[in-house]
Amino acid sequence: MIGDGHGFLGALVRRVIPDAHIYSVDLPKMLVFQAVTYAHSDPVACLNVGASAESDVDFLKPEDIENLPSEIDCAVNVASMAEMKAESIHSYFNCLRARSAGHSRFYCVNRATKTHPDGTKISFSAYPWKPADEVFIDGHCPYYSHFWSMNTAPDGPRFAGVRVPFLNAFDGPVLHRLTRLADA
């Protein structure tokens, strides 16, 4: 799980597939929220900071992604790559490509484009996809059009100068792709 926010998707995966070993990669402050979500969702799960064969869920900072196991069955990124710099996106793709096997899959759902405050534009189509990637699903995401927020961000719907809390629509289309990444 790359950038699982509050950890809801990863916790759901653990509920549906209790034997799944989850590696959750995110910023340190978000890992705290994820640990709380996992602990409430699965109180008997063994949680660990760093990569460990003995745990059920491992929490890793982005700079520690090289500690992921040598082979990953399924990697998931939901709505965080658009928030990253292009170099970080390339780093994740390189890491996943190095850990992919014939059965491995990568599911990515992100905004089609996002303009960062500094003017940098990040585009889903410009992610480091390769022509040799085997694509199973590709296109507009039919289920992910809104996000939950209590923030007062500079963009988005406003009421009296404050972002409308709870459920907000993305400011453009959201795309998703399920693929087997070609070798590095």
Q: Given this model, what pLDDT does residue 51 score?
A: 74
Residue type, 69: P
**Phi/psi of residue 33, nearest 5 degrees:** -60, -40
pLDDT, one tens digit per residue, over 96-151 is 999 999 999 999 999 999 999 999 999 999 999 999 999 999 999 999 888 776 65
Alpha helices (runs of H) in the chain, residue ranges in sequence order: 8-16, 28-41, 86-98
Distances (CA, A) of 40 to 46, 142, 158: 12, 29, 33
pLDDT score, position 1: 96
60: pLDDT strictly greater than 60: yes
- The pTM for the full model equals 0.86
**Which structural domains are found in the chain, ordered by start?**
8-141+173-180 (3.40.50.150)
- State the DSSP code for 53: T
Condensed to tens digits (0 to 9), the pLDDT of residues 143-176 reads 988 877 665 555 555 554 455 566 778 888 999 9
Task: Taking residues 34-46, report their average pLDDT.
Answer: 87
Mean pLDDT across the stretch 14-30?
A: 93
